[in-house]
Amino acid sequence: MSAPQAYERDPYLTELPVRVVATGSEGGRPWAVLDDTVLYPEGGGQPADHGFLGEVPVVDVRTVDGRVRHVLETEVPEGPTVVRLDWARRLDHMQQHTGQHLLTAVAADRFGWETTAFHLGPETCDVELAVPSIVPADAERLEDAVASAIRAALPVTARRVRAEELPGLGVRSRGLPEGHVGDVRLVEIAGVDLNTCGGTHLRSTAELEALKLLGTEKLRGGTRLFFVAGSRVRRRLGEAEERNGRLRALLGAPDPGLAEAVAAKLAQLAEAQKALRGAEEELAEAKAETLAAAGAPVVDAHFEGRDLAFVGRVARRFTELPVGGLAFLTGEKDGAGVFVLAAGAGSSADVRALGSAVAARLDGRGGGSGKLFQGKASLERRAEALSLLRTPSS
């Protein structure tokens, strides 16, 4: 079996002289294979490292046919160069992945919750646990136990063993990948966990800094538990403080009262919206009655800043009034024009035919039946549409 790559030999190594030994292209992206690399290829739930090959950005790293391919922004020639690691990204991944190992071990040993899957996302991470639900008190005890292991600064080490040695080592594992041959890499958190894993990890649980549980959701008979570790905890706290500061200024309430203040504002908004809907109904009814009172065969009105919902209210009220005329109503809001053709209760006009003719004149589309026809259209030729309706032959 080939010697381990530099990212496995020393996950804290950030730069390495290397040689490009093969190049190619796939999916429109060039790639290069090196004789060694500090960049970790995606695998085991851990995303790929990013970095640079010379001055060319490495945007992905994958293992293909047993070789580590570095996916590049531009082509590079074969020969000597230097590969450099995006250390901030690597450290974040090591904190999240080591945090998952610790969380998984404590959840299993203290509570009997076995981990069935792990996902390291760009903002949060999660483990899927074989437990129907987790009550808040248990989540708090789990978090406290993890924090205790972090404070203990437990060593985290990695080694390789022969596959036949695994049964006698007490290894925590969901099984080796299908088709695996050769020795097996183990990652150990002293006194807490021994697991099969090919990823990069911290030297000590102290370097985790902190791990915070964020919440749960039910999933396929189990529970997905969300968490963040390391610098993500500090970043989220900073973002929360900034957000709370803006909310305090807007709501005039301290942190403990922010939720109640928001609830009160939402209740006020709901009441205001209810009152506004009532006022709009009254306005629509009054406008329809004013139009009907004109007594003309065809009346019209345009409502600037109003959408189809309001124009439709006016039209529906017009159809209820005992008049024999037609109402041609239009509105425009945010550049979107609408129209409604409505017939009074005493009208025998073919509203569908007339509405289709109006829509065609306005380069629009619409539909309707009975005494209403409505649609969307450009209102540049509104005057022509109104003239069409007022022409006796129409």
Q: Is residue 259 part of a domain?
A: no
Q: Does residue 243 form part of some domain?
A: no
More confident: 163 or 328: 328
pTM: 0.78
For 111-164, write each residue's pLDDT tens digit. Answer: 999 999 999 999 999 999 999 999 999 999 999 999 999 999 999 999 999 887
Domains: count for the chain: 3
Residues 70 and 33 in one domain: yes
Where residue 15 sits, what CATH number does that domain have? Answer: 2.40.30.130
Q: What's the pLDDT score for residue 205?
A: 98
209 with 173, same domain: the answer is yes
Residues 95, 234: one domain? yes
Which of 356, 318, 365, 357 lies closest to 337, judged by CA? 365
Q: Are residues 97 and 181 part of one domain?
A: yes
Per-residue confidence band for 179, with pLDDT thresholds at 50, 70 and 90: low
Buried b (16+ CB within 10 A) or exposed e, 63-88: eeeeebbbbbeeebeeeebebbbbee
Using CA atoms, how far apart are residues 202 and 212, in angstroms rounded to an integer? Answer: 18
Inside any domain, residue 182: yes
Rounded to whole angstroms, how far apart are CA atoms 21 and 41?
17
pLDDT tens, position by position, 297-315: 999 999 999 999 999 999 9
User: Using 50, 70 and 90 to split pLDDT, how confident is the model at 178?
Assistant: low
158, part of any domain: yes
**Cα–Cα distance for residue pair 127/224, rounded to 1 Å:** 6
CATH of the domain at 183: 3.30.980.10
> Of 238, 269, 299, which closes a domain?
238
Q: What is the mean pLDDT of residues 256-275?
A: 95
If asked whether residues 205 and 100 sit together in one domain, one would say yes
Say yes or no: 157 and 64 in one domain. Answer: no
Segment 211-223, tens digit of pLDDT: 999 999 998 889 9
97 and 70 inside one domain: no
Q: Which of 216, 238, 260 is the last residue of a domain?
A: 238
CA angle in degrees (0–180, nearest 5) for 45-46-47: 120
Return the SS3 of 302.
strand
Q: How confident is the model at residue 171 (pLDDT cuts 50, 70, 90)?
A: confident
Shared-domain flag, residues 302 and 203:
no
For residue 86, give the 3-state DSSP assignment.
coil
Q: For residues 196 and 176, what is the distance between their CA atoms, to the nearest angstrom?
A: 8
Which tens digit of pLDDT belongs to each residue from 81-122? 999 999 999 999 999 999 999 999 999 999 999 999 999 999
Residues 95 and 166 in one domain: yes
% of the chain residues with pLDDT over 90: 86
Round the average pLDDT of the chain to a whole number and report it: 93
Sheet of 222-229: strands edge to edge? 115-120, 125-129, 222-229, 211-219
Same domain, 125 and 213: yes
Residue 59 in domain: yes
Which pLDDT score is estimated for 216? 97
CA 379 to chain centre: 39
Residue 1's pLDDT band, with cuts at 50, 70 and 90, is: very low
Query: Domain range holding 309?
Result: 277-390
Query: Does 57 share its domain with 97?
Result: no
Look at residues 182, 176, 230 and name the one whose alpha carbon lies nearest to residue 208: 230
User: Is residue 321 a part of any domain in this protein?
Assistant: yes
